[in-house]
Amino acid sequence: MMHGFQVRWGWTRRTALAWALCFFLMWVTGVVLYGLPSQELLDMSSTEQGIRRLSVVLHGVLTWFLCVLSGRGVWAHVPRTWHRRSHMRSWWWGVLSLLALLGLVVTGLVLLYGAEWLHARVSTAHFWFGMIALLVLLTHVSRRKGNKPRIKASTAFQSR
């Protein structure tokens, strides 16, 4: 139960920090995977192969954690803020964040389950969605003076 926590637009501080850490680690492992593509695996040193293998495993495991944290944070956040457009700039950055995350999810699923011939193109798109998502999310959550509403956890999920 979250009753002791203050919630910021549907997020608890712990969930937000865990999500940010998870997203950052996925970003780092994604950069490694993009820099050490599987097509060049035979040409890599054993150290590079080990780093790539570790990055693949971490990226996959972190994906599941990010899904759980997103289910806890994003889906509490979106209905709470969708109709509150008093800060339009932040609202639009939020919409762009959601679209960038959706692009990451779709391209990630194609990389995981799609045909081999798609991987090279989709890998590049997935990488750039990750780069863009990081910048867009940072812009969306940047603190602006006067944009720090807090609500009690017990009211975070009530519809208005």
Examine the pLDDT at 58 and tell me if it is beyond 90. yes
Write out pLDDT tens, residues 121-132. 899 999 999 888
Q: What is the pLDDT of residue 107?
A: 95
First-to-last alpha carbon distance for the chain, in angstroms, is 22
Structure tokens at 6: 């203050």
Closest CA to 140 of 103, 100, 105: 100
Question: Is the full-model pTM beyond 0.75?
Answer: no
Residue 108 makes CB contacts below 8 A (sequence gap 6+) with: 63, 126
Alpha helical stretches, state H, the chain: 13-35, 46-81, 88-113, 119-141
Output the CA torsion 157→62→60→50 (10° steps): 180
Q: Domain ranges for the chain, please list them.
A: 1-84, 87-143
Above 90 in pLDDT, residue 136?
Answer: no
What confidence tens digit (pLDDT) does each residue in 102-123 have? 999 999 999 999 998 898 889 9
